[in-house]
Amino acid sequence: MIDALLRESGLALSALDGVAFGAGPGSFTGLRIASGVAQGLAFGAGVPVLPVGTLEALAEASGAQSAITALDARMDEIYHAAYVRLGEGWHEVHAPSLCAPGEAPLAEGSGWTGCGNAFAVHAGILRARYADAMDTIRAELVPHARDIASIGARGLAAGRGLDPALAVPVYVRDKVALSVAERAARRQAAQARS
């Protein structure tokens, strides 16, 4: 696929200035594949890499000036971050984190755009949590390669490229499943809240 894209664009791998990749948070396997492919391409071409956060890519996709980004992380948790546009790039207001939807960091002010599938999966909780802060919700947005490329191009132009050996995923979760007892305890707690 990469070869086909390069051919279609009339480029050789050696013509690239660097390789940007979605570094996470996200699915463990997807993040490992992305960083491994980016690392291999960059080593082969002798160019730097630039890891781009998937939540920052969501902010880029929103086209907003301020974005609360949230992806469903399963197990009743979300990956969350908040960004405001600063020039052509983004300033991190809340760093990427893993939290329960009802414990997501609050946003100051108003005019925020909520983006990412967590605003559909946990709609009631997140809409209530950010009722005074958000003007728009874009739950349909997903991290996309074009947004990672856009952020990556700016970062590479600014000299923030890294040695390919440093192409590593960003994990904000170290546990990938709940035990049977933990699932039962969460169900009981949810029923008690209802």
Query: Which amino acid is residue 6, in one-letter code?
Result: L
Confirm whether 188 is domain-assigned: no
Whether the per-residue pLDDT at 176 is higher than 80: the answer is: no
In a domain, 183, yes or no: no
Is residue 194 one of the residues assigned to a domain?
A: no
What band does 188 get if pLDDT is binned at 50, 70 and 90?
confident
Helix (H) or strand (E) holding 81: strand 77-86
% of the chain with per-residue pLDDT over 70: 96
Q: Give yes or no for residue 173 having a pLDDT over 80.
A: no
Q: Would the pLDDT of 98 be above 90? A: yes
Based on the number of CB atoms within 10 Å of its own CB, is 173 exposed (0-12), middle (13-18) or buried (19 or more)?
Answer: middle
Please say if the pLDDT value at position 68 is more than 70. Answer: yes
Whether the pLDDT of residue 90 is over 70: the answer is yes
Do the beta carbons of residue 82 and residue 93 sit within 8 Å? yes
**187 domain residue, yes or no:** no
> Which tens digit of pLDDT belongs to each residue from 114-170?
999 999 999 999 999 999 999 999 999 999 999 999 999 999 999 999 999 999 998
* Other residues' Cβ atoms within 10 Å of the Cβ of residue 80: 27
Q: Is the peptide bond between 25 and the residue preceding it cis, with omega within 30 degrees of 0?
A: yes
CATH code, 28: 3.30.420.40
Ranges 36-40, 69-73, 150-154, 186-190: which has the least confidence: 186-190
The answer to the question of residue 180 being in a domain is: no
- The b/e string for 9-47 (b: 16+ C-beta within 10 A; e otherwise) is eeeeeeebebbbbbbbbbeeeebeebbeebbebbeebeb
Q: Residue 189: inside a domain, yes or no?
A: no
Is 71 inside any structural domain?
Answer: yes
Residue 29 lies in a domain: yes
Distance CA 128, CA 131 (A): 5
**What range does the domain containing 101 cover?**
2-174
Contact by Cβ (8 Å): 68, 118: no
State the Cα–Cα distance between residues 160 and 48, nearest whole angstrom: 9
* Structure letter (DSSP) for residue 120: H
pLDDT at 175 > cutoff 60: no
Residues forming beta bridges with residue 112, ordered by sequence position: 134
pTM here is 0.87
Which pLDDT does position 28 carry in this prediction?
Answer: 87
**Secondary structure letter of residue 112 according to DSSP:** E
Domain count, the chain: 1
